[in-house]
Amino acid sequence: MQIKKFRGADMQEALQHVKRELGQDAIILSTRQVRGGGGTFGLFGKPMLEVTAARDAEENGGDAAGLLASLPNAFAKGRRVRGAGTESDLVKQILARNQIDTQSLLAPLQDEIQELKELLHHAGDVQRESVRESVSLSQIQSEISEMRQTLQSLSAQSAGLREAEYAENLVVLFQQLIFNGMEEKFARRLIEESMKNIPVGEMEDFAYVKIFLARMLMKILKVTGGIRTEPNRQTIAALIGPTGVGKTTTVAKLASEQMLKFRRKVGLITVDTFRIAAVEQLKVYAKIMGVPITVVGSKQELRRAIQEFAECDAIFVDTGGRSQRDGLQMSEIYRMFGGDDPIDVYLTMSVTTKDSDQSEITRRFGQIPLAGVMYTKLDESTTFGSMFNHSIRFKTPVAYLTTGQKVPEDIEVATKERLVDLLLNIVGN
């Protein structure tokens, strides 16, 4: 496989260089903004777009094609392929068959690391130290202020609970709910209901009180049980949501689940015409899994693509991220998925998104009927109360949780038990 980096003033110019040197079949591996010439090490140069692209070497095409042809069967039957090992080894096999030069993959990273070292060296010791001290002091002051406000708030809230003669165990759990991001009015309502319904003789048993509260939370939550297909009925699921939440990777995980776990035929559709890298990423996943994929740009094209995938049990539709505050972008989503088409639309959000932003996102995207919500990036967060705030406000069922970037491992069907454990840490106790 031949890998090369190209630069251009914009994506169109960079792609022209790619096609000229690597041909129409080149695959876009990554894109990034860089500084062009001018100044020391290009520090003050004009911003440019750098594209890393690759194409298969012709002498290895036959062998690689044979291995790729065996992939769908491997995913479907879950067994070894032509001595290649288990499914998790298949991508490594493809790379080995195509004789990828490891140094060519590492070279761009090594160049960037060296460039950073040189920039730091020439920036000046005094200036670097001053910047570090300023940033560190600002961060410390901000964190201290935030901690002080949190402690003051919790102290006042706890005092209010004690004045109302609430049991000590309920005060402790109230603090835990607040620390984990649940809105204060929701947490207080749960504690008050628990106080009314827990027998007096059990109030001193912390484990009993915690399990009682967990059961109350489970009554509030709604889950979909995942995406299921029925005999003689095609399932179509589209993922919509803001930018940067991981919709493309989640689509690949869902497709893998349907193939590996349920042995279903899958098709992929993408309407993400803004981010070329995202489209290429999904094409790579489709190639590895051996499933058909098509790119559409309008509702009519989407309907035709669905008809072409009539033999598929499940179709997953990936979309580009849209800002909930951009009226033009939102109207495009409404036109694409509004109406009576048999498509289950899932709102995809990162659990790291602020609670107020989650509410705004849901109100705007929720103008399309939602089958459920998928939460991503659980591995990047330490608080999960926002999912409960969302469930209480919007009554939208939770479908899936993702816990990392690995495909297909880092995804799980949302269950009430798992969600409550994230909030109360029951299993850890």
Q: What is the pLDDT of residues 117-175, one digit of tens each?
A: 555 555 555 454 554 555 556 666 655 555 555 554 555 454 455 545 678 899 999 99
Inform me whether the pLDDT recorded for 397 exceeds 50: yes
Looking at the structure, do residues 13 and 77 belong to the same domain, yes or no? yes
- CATH number of the domain where residue 381 is located: 3.40.50.300
pLDDT band for position 371 (cuts 50, 70, 90) = very high
pLDDT band for position 231 (cuts 50, 70, 90) = confident
Looking at the structure, do residues 311 and 345 belong to the same domain, yes or no? yes
Residue numbers of the domain that contains 67: 2-125
Is 69 a member of any domain? yes
Secondary structure of 11-47 in HEC code, one letter for each residue? HHHHHHHHHHHHCCCCEEEEEEEEECCCCHHHCCCCE
Q: How far apart are CA 176 and CA 188, in angstroms?
A: 12
H or E element that contains 372: strand 372-376
Query: Which of 189, 220, 251 is the endpoint of a domain?
Result: 220
Inform me whether the pLDDT recorded for 349 exceeds 50: yes
Looking at the structure, do residues 264 and 318 belong to the same domain, yes or no? yes
Yes or no: say if 346 and 240 are a contact pair by the CB < 8 Å rule.
yes
Strand order in the sheet with 2-8: 2-8, 47-55, 27-35
Is 429 a member of any domain? no
Looking at the structure, do residues 284 and 392 belong to the same domain, yes or no? yes
Inform me whether the pLDDT recorded for 344 exceeds 70: yes
pLDDT of residue 150: 53
Looking at the structure, do residues 268 and 362 belong to the same domain, yes or no? yes
Beta strand 27-35 with 47-55 is: antiparallel
Looking at the structure, do residues 357 and 296 belong to the same domain, yes or no? yes
pLDDT of residue 81: 37
What's the total number of domains in the chain? 3
Looking at the structure, do residues 183 and 306 belong to the same domain, yes or no? no
Query: Which of 220, 253, 273 is the endpoint of a domain?
Result: 220
Inform me whether the pLDDT recorded for 113 exceeds 90: no
Query: Which of 75, 96, 125 is the endpoint of a domain?
Result: 125
User: What is the pTM (predicted TM-score) of this model?
Assistant: 0.63
Looking at the structure, do residues 243 and 310 belong to the same domain, yes or no? yes
Looking at the structure, do residues 172 and 314 belong to the same domain, yes or no? no
Looking at the structure, do residues 407 and 312 belong to the same domain, yes or no? yes
Q: Where are the beta strands (DSSP E) in 324-371?
A: 344-350
